[in-house]
Structure 1
Amino acid sequence: DLGLQLTEIRDDGIHILDKGTTQYFALHGKTGHLMTAERIDREQLCERVQQCVLRCELIVEGQMQVYGIQVQITDINDNAPSFREAETELRMSETTAPGSRFPLPDAHDPDSGRNSLQSYELSGDEHFSLAVQAGPGGDQRPELVLAKALDREEAAFHELVLRAMDGGDPARTGTARIRVTVLDANDNAPVFSQAEYTVRVPEDVPVGSVLVTVTAIDADEGLNGHVKYSFKKITGKASQIFQLDAELGAITVLRSLDFEEGDSYELEVQAHDGGGSFDTAHVVITVTDVNDNAPVLTVSSRVNEISEDAP
């Protein structure tokens, strides 16, 4: 193209001078072809420049002639979209309203044009969908949309995969795992295992014995699921006889029972969690008789003497 003779090239009278610190190009001594001397990475040389041009000079020493050469570096799809972090955790309450949006990490692809980032996809479950907003610079910003109400008791975690794709042929993709932790709300009340507990005990049961243990289950966690027990309804007499363990729900006897004093007691027990929800159960304690009393003879007659001819 420059009209130079191959003899001048072979005599090393011509050489290439790069204007940068790295010598990217060289001259083939036999053919006069311009060759690459180093690997060229467009993304490293021109990260944010659409048109990447390298400039060098061909110098003919004998003639002191200098020719400028411009080499345009075109992009290939040699980079896949990538996320800064491979895994992201989001925390949201189970009472979060459907339609709420949460920003997701965006991907970066240093390639240009169609070879750069083009779209996002979300895979996971029916509770979430993906929305992509356009940023002020035309960039895409993915958002997680809550499509269906959460229930921590149904699923405490949700594992999603966010996929970023470029427009190359074939396309390259990058993925990030999204872990959604569902925070508990006090949306469950304690529930007793039985609506009514019935127990029969002999009157000579030892003091301190456990007569019955009531049990309530709360599906919430932490303070919302911590169940405590208390008497909701009990007579003054029964409160001196029976004791309820607030943590375990065990009803024990405080003093000796006496069938002759009372053969049946009805109590109401309440289970409540840390959020104020509660449930109530009925407890019936029946005292059975044992032979702990001897017969007592009562003489009511005032007659001290009886005539031998009394009818």
Structure 2
Amino acid sequence: RGVRIVSEGSMEHFALHEKTGHLVTAARIDREQLCEEVQHCVLRCALIVEGQMQVYGIQVEITDINDNAPSFRQAEKELRMSEMTAPGSRFPLSEAHDPDSGRNSLQSYELSGDEHFSLAVQTGPGGDQRPELVLAKALDREEAAFHELVLRASDGGDPARTGTARIRVTVLDANDNAPVFSQAEYTVRVPEDVPVGSVLVTVTATDADEGLYGQVKYSIQKITEKASQTFQLDDNTGAITLLQGLDFEDGASYELEVQAHDGGALFDTTKVVVCVTDVNDNVPDISMRSALSEISEDAPSGTVVALLHVQDRDSGANGEVRCSLDEGIPFRLEKSFEDYYR
């Protein structure tokens, strides 16, 4: 009696069985939804004992199961290559995404097709695998104008799950110059209250060729699912606009990889980093966790009469909360546990 579970998040994930005292799940728990890109997934809640005015912290670690298969943002990709492309040339391919963690996440790539192409996998700075298409044998447009390939991504589950993407290579005439971005990396800082529809940054690449080979188009080569719903790239101008409102508390930075390609097979790649700055758009929230309905006039000094929780979702100085009581009343306020006060 007088014991209950309180979750400090926006959703109650756990409950207390009133007869057994068991901590039970209150809703379906999806590790990938709760802890996106976080290896150690821990949910926190508090056990409040009202009669004792005590609060105890509970941490529950959510472990992963292989419930997701690797998938590609584009199920089909078209590459255009000049027949003069030298053997050994490499072309970056879209990476697969698997929200699972550890061995259950993406582990390997495999390419099937013909003898003209092979697969190389590079390891990025963060340990991610980046597949590249390697031209193993010289192309001849008169011999074959198209090449059909299949890229397969597999995870390490038992049994393993796989995802595929089809690659169609179109063989073109020679192209002398590749597009070149004005910057190897674009970094832009925007406040979280920037209006939807605003142009955040414009990437620019130039190509010295004329005609079809000098026309530059832009595309997103690498982007997270969340960022794809937040930003939009104009494939003609290179302008990146905001599709939906930003929230610093939900995401402080986003990374995009943008590719500029001409009418042939040549391209250049740049990195775009959008840093979201905090705006003081959240007010401190005070909630009563437990309180006495009455107190005797001869109660001794130090008697706890209420348990409060205070939090502010902003960050840095905007999220620092100072609590105080009005003067001239026979009570004092003291810190109890993390964001709890008595």
Q: Distance in 2 between matches of 1:136 and 1:75?
A: 24
Deviations 1:188-219 (A, max 9, x none): xxxxxxxxxxxxxxxxxxxxxxxxxxxxxxxx
Deviations 1:91-126 (A, max 9, x none): 011222211111111111121111111110001111
Find the counterpart in structure 1 of residue 54 from structure 2: 65
Matched, 1:139 2:128: yes
Select which of 130, 137, 141 maps to 1:148: 137
Residues 59-208 of structure 1: pairs in structure 2 closer than 5 A: 59-184=48-173
Q: Distance in 1 between matches of 2:55 and 2:89?
A: 65
Deviations 1:161-200 (A, max 9, x none): 1111111111111111111001146xxxxxxxxxxxxxxx
Structure 2: runs of 5 or more not aligned = 175-342
Equivalent position amino acid for 1:164 in 2: A
Equivalent position amino acid for 2:132 in 1: E
Find the counterpart in structure 2 of residue 304 from structure 1: none
Find the counterpart in structure 2 of residue 209 from structure 1: none
Matched, 1:21 2:10: yes
Find the counterpart in structure 1 of residue 29 from structure 2: 40
Deviations 1:272-306 (A, max 9, x none): xxxxxxxxxxxxxxxxxxxxxxxxxxxxxxxxxxx
- Secondary structure in 2 matching 1:44: helix
State which structure, 1 or 2, has the greater radius of gyration over its C-alpha atoms. 1
State, as a whole percentage, how many aligned pairs show the same letter. Answer: 86
Residues 257-272 of structure 1: pairs in structure 2 closer than 5 A: none
**CA offset at residue 55 of structure 1?**
0.7
Q: Distance in 1 between matches of 2:161 and 2:171?
A: 32
Q: Distance in 2 between matches of 1:69 and 1:96?
A: 60
Residues 248-259 of structure 1: pairs in structure 2 closer than 5 A: none
Matched, 1:30 2:19: yes
Q: Distance in 1 between matches of 2:20 and 2:125?
A: 51
Deviations 1:243-285 (A, max 9, x none): xxxxxxxxxxxxxxxxxxxxxxxxxxxxxxxxxxxxxxxxxxx
Find the counterpart in structure 1 of residue 294 from structure 2: none
**CA offset at residue 48 of structure 1?**
2.1
**CA offset at residue 85 of structure 1?**
1.0
**CA offset at residue 64 of structure 1?**
2.0
Q: Distance in 2 between matches of 1:29 and 1:158?
A: 65
Q: Distance in 1 between matches of 2:66 and 2:104?
A: 5
Aligned residues: 174
Moved over 4 A (4+): none
- Secondary structure in 2 matching 1:129: strand
- Secondary structure in 1 matching 2:131: strand
- Secondary structure in 2 matching 1:114: helix
Residues 2-13 of structure 1: pairs in structure 2 closer than 5 A: 8=1, 13=2
Equivalent position amino acid for 1:156 in 2: A
Matched, 1:49 2:49: no
Structure 1: runs of 5 or more not aligned = 1-7, 186-311
Find the counterpart in structure 2 of residue 199 from structure 1: none
Equivalent position amino acid for 1:42 in 2: R
**CA offset at residue 42 of structure 1?**
1.3
Find the counterpart in structure 1 of residue 222 from structure 2: none
TM-score with structure 1 length normalisation?
A: 0.54
Q: Distance in 2 between matches of 1:57 and 1:102?
A: 52
